[in-house]
């Protein structure tokens, strides 16, 4: 479950709702009550306000720490750093230029771990790898002259046709900047 | 009679929303009314362009139209609409609270630079300069070299952008700072006296300082490039500024903080308006101290959270900066959490009078918080790699502006009687708020869901898998436009106050 939350963009959507729905319920409840059913000043004691204040701040802090702490393991940057010395990782060079991608290799096997090393030679592009079902596995921004090429590893677990797209607007044929490769 | 009043009188439809009588308050209400009116004209054009985008995809009109309209839509909504509306209301508020004139040379220069700049950019875009409102440097130059648009459109477009930026980064902040600290107080104008200790005033000053500080480096870089384009600076002088990394970083340091500055200002405005609508007439916030603490947290943490725009450049952006950006982005959420507490505690303690003005403000605040959650989620490094460049990011940029605009529109409702001597039409205003909120929720979740499904932003040729999101964008977009039409009508149907 935790793995799904951090490795699929719909996981982000679920966490989004977990924050938003309680907020909406409390907010509308209080506004409704104090605007329509009982707008008289409340008799709540000052100590109670400050208890709520501390409770609420601590709750938010804990939630933020947990959500981010649990995410560290799934950061593509951490995965890439861990794979730095792994000899079994296959390096693939990618060059992005308006409006095409060139790969040094474009056929992979299920179970293979590939390091995509990408750079742009003209303007800002990105290398975005879409799963065959359409969702985004990861994207790397490529700014020309960045000093080093962007690099991330990905282990293919499912066969199919993967699509690489540019997600940084790069001119009048930006949408045509895509390419596919197969995983057997 | 003020020139501003004259212009308002001559403008069809929109003029009727902001008709101002000649009276002794003209120095604080005439120009702000003109500026607000003009911002809504830009909105009307930009909204039609927004609705046109899914329509272009369904009717297969071609990607060129899409890129033209997204550039015009994004630029017009962000600058001459949202920013200009904020400027109008804050100039009016600063004037009436501090007793300073809002009709001097700074105000008219702001107005001219903003609108003439936006017009020049519009012409450049219509002539082919399709770079989106974030410019994507070095795209403007690469586009000329590859024949996508002409050198003329580049010079024209950059000139327009430079005028708009000058109005936002220099003229407007300097005017607000002058009003806050220097100009002479005129007590006849000070109809809603406030001190500089008021959270609303503090938020305003923080906001303009952020604009000035975060914007100046961008002005230096963009100014150097422009002077080169004019043939004044030789190429050797501007190599540093033409480096894409330099440009992108100064751009996002500004652009990110621009959004934060607008947020800090509007939260300040909420802090100063909410107490005026309390049921017990106490005119107090739950706690000024916590309100001000929240503003400080928002200010300090937002400055360096801009790194979240660059997470996906790894390893060119070292991981330390990425983590820093991640943590600071969530830390702004702590400022948000304290704001939520202060607002709810105020409502709980004092009760509220359910007026359209207050409800639009509270609705806008809910929109702002919901958007804030989407912002911190995409600022987590792990999720950012799966959402950056999708409709989630585009939706967040758009929706934060919608939330901020809704809040200012609520503040405008509240102060409308003071600005124009008329009261808004209550029932039209209530239905406006209903449609506004529903369409906001619809647009917001449509964009976020599209992003979660991997739909690319700024893409001129949607693939059929993603059409479904376009259908909802169209439906809720039309509904949002309708909500704005109701807003306009609620002002046009306003009735004269009788004392
Ligand atoms: C009236 C209904 C509206 C509709 C139908 C609409 C639709 C759209 C669409 C389809 C996009 C393009 C998304 C993409 O391809 O990346 C977009 C982007 C945007 N919209 Fe709207 N929008 C509306 C209202 C607004 C409002 C009220 C604002 C601001 C106050 C706004 C600000 C923006 C911004 C800043 C962008 C980003 C442009 C970019 O990424 O270059 N929109 N909108
Ligand atoms: Cu590209």
pLDDT at position B237, please?
92
Give the per-residue pLDDT at B2.
Answer: 81
Q: Are residue A63 and residue A100 in the same domain, yes or no?
A: no
pLDDT at B56 over 60: yes
- Mean pLDDT (chain B, rounded): 94
Residue B499 has pLDDT above 60, yes or no: no
Range of the domain at A150: 77-183
H or E segment to which residue A107 belongs: strand A107-108
**B205 in contact with ligand 1, CB cutoff 6 A:** no
Angle at B378 between CA A148 and CA B164, to 5 degrees: 80
- pLDDT surpasses 80 at B498: no
Residues A7 and A87 in one domain: no
* A96 and A138 share one domain: yes
Which position has the token pair 């059913």? Answer: A37
Same domain for A25 and A51, yes or no, is: yes
The answer to whether residue B145 scores a pLDDT higher than 60 is yes
Predicted confidence band of residue B194 (pLDDT cuts 50, 70, 90): confident
Statement to judge: residues A68 and A104 lie in one domain: no
- The reply to whether ligand 1 has any atom less than 6 angstroms from the CB of B470 is no
- Is B56 domain-assigned? yes
Q: Which tens digits make up the pLDDT trace of B413-460?
A: 999 999 999 999 999 999 999 999 999 999 999 999 999 999 999 999
Q: Is B297 helix (H, G, I), strand (E, B) or coil?
A: helix
Ligand 1 atom index nearest CA of B82: 30
Question: Is residue B481 in a domain?
Answer: no
Residue B224 in any domain: the answer is no
| B299 vs B405: CA distance, rounded Å | 20
The pLDDT score that the predictor gives to residue B90 is 95
Which of A74, A102, A121 corresponds to the end of one domain?
A: A74
* Number of structural domains chain B divides into: 1
Q: Which residues pair with A108 in a beta bridge?
A: A183
Q: pLDDT tens digits for B458-485? A: 999 999 889 999 999 999 999 999 999 9
Number of domains in chain A: 2
DSSP conformational letter for B318: -
Determine contact, residues B298/A40, Cβ cutoff 8 Å: no
Q: Which of A20, A47, A74 is the last residue of a domain?
A: A74
**pLDDT class of B1 with cuts at 50, 70, 90:** low
Distance CA B67, CA B130 (A): 6
Q: What phi, psi does A45 have (nearest 5°)?
A: -75, 150
- CA separation, residue B96 to residues B93, B186, B189, B204 (Å): 5, 10, 6, 14
Q: Same domain for A48 and A116?
A: no
Asked whether residue A96 falls in the same domain as residue A111, the answer is: yes
> What is the widest separation between alpha-carbon atoms in chain A?
72
Q: Alpha-carbon distance B38 to B18, whole Å?
A: 10
| Selection from B436, B438, B445 nearest residue B395 by Cα | B445
CATH of the domain at A137: 2.60.40.420
Beta carbons of A6 and B460 less than 8 Å apart = no
Q: What percent of chain B has pLDDT over 70?
A: 99
CB pairs under 8 A between A and B: 253
Does some domain include residue B344? no
Q: Compute the nearest-CA separation of B317 from chain A (Å).
A: 9
Looking at the fold, whether A35 and A82 belong to one and the same domain comes out as no
Each residue's pLDDT, cut to its tens digit, for chain A (184 residues) gives: 889 999 999 999 999 999 999 999 999 999 999 988 888 888 888 889 999 999 999 999 999 999 999 999 999 888 888 887 888 899 999 999 999 999 998 889 999 999 999 999 999 999 999 999 888 999 999 999 887 889 999 999 999 999 999 999 999 999 999 999 899 9
Identify which ligand lies nearest to the alpha carbon of A97: 2
Q: What is the pLDDT of residues B97-144, one digit of tens each?
A: 999 999 999 999 999 999 999 999 999 999 999 999 999 999 999 999
- Ligand 1 mutation target, pool B52, B398, B453, B481, most atoms within 8 A of CB: B398
User: Would you say residue B43 lies in a domain?
Assistant: yes
Shared domain for A70 and A86, answered yes or no, is: no
Task: Among A20, A136, A151, select the one facing B315 at the smallest CB separation.
Answer: A151
Q: Does any ligand 1 atom lie closer than 6 A to the CB of residue B74?
A: yes
Q: Best mutation site among A171, A173, A177, A180 for testing chain B: the one with the most B CBs within 10 Å?
A: A171
pLDDT at site A87 = 81
Beta carbons within 10 angstroms of residue A87's beta carbon: 4
A177 and A91 housed in the same domain: yes
Answer whether residue B320 is part of any domain: no
- Nearest C-alpha neighbor of B336 from the set B369, B292, B380: B369
The reply to whether A15 and A42 lie within a common domain is yes
Last residue within a domain, chosen from A74, A91, A114: A74
Answer yes or no: is B91 within a domain.
Answer: yes
pLDDT digits (tens, 9 = 90+) for B278-289: 998 888 899 999
Q: Is residue B163 part of a domain?
A: yes
**Cβ B75 vs Cβ B133: under 8 Å:** yes
Which domain does B130 fall in, by range? 25-193
**Together in a domain, A70 and A81:** no
Q: Residues B251-271: pLDDT tens digits?
A: 999 999 999 999 999 999 899
């Amino acid at each position: 479950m935790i793995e799904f939350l951090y490795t699929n963009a719909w996981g982000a959507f679920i966490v989004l709702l977990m924050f938003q729905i309680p907020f909406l319920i409390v907010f509308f409840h209080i506004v409704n009550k104090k605007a329509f059913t009982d707008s008289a000043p409340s008799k709540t004691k000052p100590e109670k306000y400050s208890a709520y204040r501390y409770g609420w701040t601590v709750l938010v802090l804990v939630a933020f720490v947990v959500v981010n702490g649990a995410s560290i393991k799934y950061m593509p940057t951490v995965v890439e750093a861990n794979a730095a010395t792994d000899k079994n990782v296959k390096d693939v060079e990618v060059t992005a230029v308006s409006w095409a991608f060139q790969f040094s290799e474009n056929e992979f096997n299920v179970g293979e771990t590939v390091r995509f090393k990408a750079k742009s030679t003209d303007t800002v592009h990105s290398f975005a790898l879409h799963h065959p079902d359409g969702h985004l596995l990861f994207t790397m921004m490529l700014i020309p002259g960045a000093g080093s090429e962007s690099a991330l590893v990905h282990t293919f677990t499912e066969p199919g046709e993967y699509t690489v797209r540019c997600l940084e607007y790069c001119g009048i044929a930006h949408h045509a900047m895509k390419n596919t490769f197969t995983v057997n | 009679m003020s020139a501003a009043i004259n212009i308002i009188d001559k403008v069809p439809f929109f003029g009727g929303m902001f008709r101002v009588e000649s009276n002794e308050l003209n120095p604080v209400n005439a120009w702000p009314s003109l500026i607000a009116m003009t911002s809504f004209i830009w909105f009307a054009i930009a909204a039609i362009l927004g609705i046109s985008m899914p329509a272009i995809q369904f009717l297969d009109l071609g990607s060129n139209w899409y890129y033209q309209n997204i550039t015009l839509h994004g630029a017009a909504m962000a600058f001459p609409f949202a920013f200009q509306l904020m400027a109008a209301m804050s100039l009016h508020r600063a004037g009436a609270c501090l007793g300073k004139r809002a009709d001097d040379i700074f105000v008219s220069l702001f107005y001219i630079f903003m609108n003439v700049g936006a017009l020049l950019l519009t012409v450049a875009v219509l002539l082919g300069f399709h770079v989106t409102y974030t410019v994507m440097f070095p795209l403007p130059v690469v586009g000329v070299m590859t024949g996508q648009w002409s050198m003329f459109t580049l010079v024209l477009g950059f000139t327009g952008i430079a005028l708009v930026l000058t109005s936002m980064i220099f003229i407007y902040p300097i005017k607000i700072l002058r009003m806050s600290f220097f100009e002479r107080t005129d007590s006849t104008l000070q109809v809603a006296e406030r001190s500089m200790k008021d959270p609303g005033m503090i938020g305003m000053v923080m906001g303009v300082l952020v604009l000035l500080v975060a914007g100046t480096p961008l002005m230096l870089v963009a100014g150097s490039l422009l002077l080169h384009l004019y043939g004044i600076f030789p190429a050797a002088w501007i190599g540093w500024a033409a480096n894409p990394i330099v440009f992108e970083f100064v751009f996002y340091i500004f652009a990110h903080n621009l959004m934060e500055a607008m947020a800090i200002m509007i939260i300040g405005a909420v802090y100063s308006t909410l107490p005026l609508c309390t049921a017990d007439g106490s005119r107090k916030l739950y706690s000024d101290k916590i309100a001000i603490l929240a503003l400080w947290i928002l200010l300090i943490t937002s400055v360096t959270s801009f790194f979240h725009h660059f997470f996906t450049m790894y390893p060119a952006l070292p991981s330390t900066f990425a983590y820093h950006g991640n943590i600071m982005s969530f830390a702004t959420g702590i400022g948000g959490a304290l704001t939520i507490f202060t607002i709810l505690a105020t409502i709980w303690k004092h009760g509220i009078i359910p007026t359209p003005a207050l409800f639009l403000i509270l609705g806008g605040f809910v929109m702002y918080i919901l958007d804030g959650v989407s912002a911190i989620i995409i600022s987590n490094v792990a999720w950012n790699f799966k959402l950056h460049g999708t409709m989630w990011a585009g939706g967040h940029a758009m929706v934060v502006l919608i939330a901020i605009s809704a809040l200012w529109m609520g503040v405008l409702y509240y102060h409308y009687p003071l600005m124009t001597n008329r009261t808004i039409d209550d029932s039209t205003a209530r239905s406006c708020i209903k449609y506004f909120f529903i369409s906001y929720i619809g647009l917001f979740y449509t964009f976020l869901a599209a992003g979660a499904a991997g739909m690319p932003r700024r893409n001129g040729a949607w693939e059929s898998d993603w059409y479904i999101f376009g259908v909802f964008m169209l439906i809720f977009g039309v509904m949002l436009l309708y909500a704005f039409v109701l807003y306009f009508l609620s002002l046009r149907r306003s009735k004269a106050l009788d004392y």
